[in-house]
A and B are shown apart, each in its own frame.
Chain A
């Protein structure tokens, strides 16, 4: 991370009695593709709108390039926004839409024409400057919104759910293109999304929000592999959570006993815990491997034995093409999900009530303190 370009310092926002954003402190560096991620109503959009200037924080400060902009009106801030609805001016042509901001900045006509053309080329809309907005497809409208914001060369480009109005195929294509665009213009992007896949695919860093607070700020891989809380683990992808107590701590290894698992599980973690503390173990469906089991014979356990394995019974298998999601029941009655990759025809063959072994690699379980 280079020097911070945006700083939120203890920012809060309340609408009447509802607290939308609660004491958020966050720094975003120059050139980052930063993503605010969370379920609807978590305060991510309010945070973005406070940065744009459409909402004023009720507490704390917002700084852009070390200048306090908390009370600066939107038209005086060095940021520009791509709206969820794109908000293209319907009575102006594509070129007029893109030129709007430059016209207000009193950029001379020839310079304006040059920059509009440059911006349209950047978003691959060359030659469409004369079109009316109602002659454009959804994807093209989004490109116009991007060009209109980028042409002003903002310090930060704000994107409010930019891909949510596109259909699935186009969305996937635009993900790569947006990331590439960000890399080529070098402008800091701050994007709001509720789509975790989108955030993981595009962002250089993510902030996961819940109920107005930051749950975790980290690069996508860390958020997925090392979630900070049960909320994050559950929100990003799918997860099996086991509640347990710490039975032993030993230099970077913590042993946790869960009522649902036959043996204590070892987790490598530097977390500060004490014995008898309640903690949670997260196991992603794709780290659980499934092996045939012959009755209760522990010797039939392949490669791994308890504590890195557990006997279970298949309850339901859903074939998804590239993998099968298998719901299995532990002896305690707890249902958990495992994802089994399809490498051949026999991999798809799970029968209900079939006894099975669950195993996982030593590094797979993840410790959660809250």
Chain B
């Protein structure tokens, strides 16, 4: 008689392997196609006509595209840093204190996550025309201000939710132990609380960065003629034709995001990815 299969043994059965293969194909085949066709030597970009790098050269020569690219990275960077600080502080506030209106704040925090982006976009448009008219002709990068503010307004709640979740697993006796050993509030925050929050901070920052980098809808409503971001630029290029130049630019974006994610994971280090919970592994 055969032994019943263990958890990993199921992968030896063909239906599961097929399922796994199908998942991989549908996830990655489009991306790989996009990358492959960025090297296609064809203006129409429908059939493969041979290898070339000339569309990368064209991409780098396209000043508008490069400007859009730089804009996108700048917006993503600034909005990530600001939403990281704001989000972490909101999470700490909600985790640490009890105050009137706390349930309302907790509910409001989820709003940017659930409200349809198109509504956020329209709301931002109205806000920046009626309430706070932003000088779009201001010198770079100040002209990006309205986009940055609207990106912060949705991505900081993602950071707050992620960090809040991480804080829920914090063992309060660690804080007491630090205080017992002589640490003051700032020491406890820096040396005990922040190290615990770190995986949440990194995950939140990655989330905020990628959300900002590929946001189309909200940016579309808040950008002006001189403040185009990469997704909007690509969209306007595609309206004429899908050239390998678009593929090349997209490939560059993919490479940059993957590299940044890898960097973040590497910075996180091996020790932090598996943090034991209190009470785990007590037996010798």
The residue on A at minimum CB distance from B173 is A87
Which residues on the B side are within 8 Å of A84 (C-beta)?
173
Task: Find A104's partner among B171, B182, B272, B279 (CB 8 Å cutoff).
Answer: B182
User: By the criterion CB–CB under 8 Å, are B281 and A104 in contact?
Assistant: no
User: By the criterion CB–CB under 8 Å, are B281 and A134 in contact?
Assistant: yes
User: By the criterion CB–CB under 8 Å, are B177 and A87 in contact?
Assistant: yes
Q: Once bound together, how far apart are the Cα atoms of A90 and B178, in whole Å?
A: 12
> Given the interface contacts A83-B177, A104-B187, does A165 sit within 8 Å of B282 by beta carbon?
yes
Task: Find B180's partner among A52, A137, A139, A165 (CB 8 Å cutoff).
Answer: A52
User: By the criterion CB–CB under 8 Å, are B181 and A152 in contact?
Assistant: yes
The residue on B at minimum CB distance from A80 is B180
Q: Once bound together, how far apart are the Cα atoms of A90 and B271, in whole Å?
A: 9
A341, CB-defined interface residue at 8 Å: no
Which residues on the B side are within 8 Å of A81 (C-beta)?
176-177, 180
User: By the criterion CB–CB under 8 Å, are B178 and A85 in contact?
Assistant: no
User: By the criterion CB–CB under 8 Å, are B184 and A85 in contact?
Assistant: no
The residue on B at minimum CB distance from A101 is B181
User: By the criterion CB–CB under 8 Å, are B181 and A80 in contact?
Assistant: yes
Q: Once bound together, how far apart are the Cα atoms of A322 and B177, in whole Å?
A: 43
A308, CB-defined interface residue at 8 Å: no
B183, CB-defined interface residue at 8 Å: yes
The residue on B at minimum CB distance from A165 is B282
Chain A positions 132 through 168: 1 when the CB is less than 8 Å from some CB of chain B, otherwise 0: 1110111111000000110010000000000001110
Which residues on the B side are within 8 Å of A149 (C-beta)?
180-181
Task: Find B181's partner among A100, A139, A140 (CB 8 Å cutoff).
Answer: A100
Which residues on the A side are within 8 Å of B173 (C-beta)?
83-85, 87
The residue on B at minimum CB distance from A54 is B176
Interface residues of B in 177-219 (CB under 8 A from A): 177-184, 187, 191-192, 195-196
Q: Which of under 10, 10 to 19, 20 to 34, or 35 or more describes the interface residues of B?
A: 20 to 34
Chain A positions 55 through 97: 1 when the CB is less than 8 Å from some CB of chain B, otherwise 0: 0000000000000000001111001110111010111000000
Interface residues of A in 151-189 (CB under 8 A from B): 152, 165-167, 170
A297, CB-defined interface residue at 8 Å: no
Which residues on the B side are within 8 Å of A101 (C-beta)?
181-182
Interface residues of A in 261-281 (CB under 8 A from B): none
B53, CB-defined interface residue at 8 Å: no
Which residues on the A side are within 8 Å of B176 (C-beta)?
54, 74, 81, 83, 87
User: By the criterion CB–CB under 8 Å, are B196 and A91 in contact?
Assistant: yes
CB distance from A16 to the nearest CB of B (A): 14
Number of interface residues of A (CB under 8 A): 37
User: By the criterion CB–CB under 8 Å, are B192 and A89 in contact?
Assistant: yes
> Given the interface contacts A87-B176, A104-B183, A140-B284, does A134 sit within 8 Å of B276 by beta carbon?
yes
Which residues on the B side are within 8 Å of A90 (C-beta)?
196, 275-276
B174, CB-defined interface residue at 8 Å: yes
B63, CB-defined interface residue at 8 Å: no
The residue on B at minimum CB distance from A132 is B271
CB distance from A111 to the nearest CB of B (A): 16
Q: Once bound together, how far apart are the Cα atoms of A148 and B180, in whole Å?
A: 11
Q: Once bound together, how far apart are the Cα atoms of A105 and B178, in whole Å?
A: 12
CB distance from B26 to the nearest CB of A (A): 38
CB distance from B178 to the nearest CB of A (A): 7
Which residues on the A side are within 8 Å of B282 (C-beta)?
137-138, 141, 165-166
The residue on B at minimum CB distance from A139 is B284
Which residues on the A side are within 8 Å of B181 (C-beta)?
75, 80, 100-101, 104, 148-149, 152
The residue on A at minimum CB distance from B185 is A75
Which residues on the A side are within 8 Å of B283 (C-beta)?
137-138, 167
Q: Which of B181, B271, B272, B278 has the most CB of A within 10 A?
A: B181
User: By the criterion CB–CB under 8 Å, are A75 and B275 in contact?
Assistant: no
User: By the criterion CB–CB under 8 Å, are B279 and A85 in contact?
Assistant: yes
The residue on A at minimum CB distance from B274 is A134
CB distance from B175 to the nearest CB of A (A): 9
Q: Once bound together, how far apart are the Cα atoms of A222 and B191, in whole Å?
A: 47
> Given the interface contacts A132-B271, A139-B284, does A89 sit within 8 Å of B174 by beta carbon?
yes
CB distance from A355 to the nearest CB of B (A): 49
> Given the interface contacts A83-B173, A89-B192, does A75 sit within 8 Å of B278 by beta carbon?
no
The residue on B at minimum CB distance from A133 is B276
Which residues on the B side are within 8 Å of A73 (C-beta)?
179
CB distance from A23 to the nearest CB of B (A): 26
User: By the criterion CB–CB under 8 Å, are B184 and A75 in contact?
Assistant: yes
CB distance from A88 to the nearest CB of B (A): 8
User: By the criterion CB–CB under 8 Å, are A100 and B179 in contact?
Assistant: no
The residue on A at minimum CB distance from B184 is A75
- B residues contacting A by CB (< 8 A) are 171, 173-174, 176-184, 187, 191-192, 195-196, 271-272, 274-276, 278-284
- A residues contacting B by CB (< 8 A) are 52-54, 73-76, 79-81, 83-85, 87, 89-91, 100-101, 104-105, 132-134, 136-141, 148-149, 152, 165-167, 170
Q: Can you list the 9 inter-chain pairs with the closest CB atoms, starting with the nearest?
A: A137-B284, A101-B181, A87-B177, A138-B282, A87-B173, A91-B195, A104-B182, A134-B276, A74-B179
Chain A to chain B contacts (Cβ below 8 Å), 18 pairs: A53-B179, A54-B179, A75-B180, A80-B180, A80-B181, A87-B171, A87-B174, A90-B275, A91-B272, A100-B181, A101-B182, A132-B271, A137-B284, A138-B282, A139-B284, A140-B284, A165-B279, A167-B283
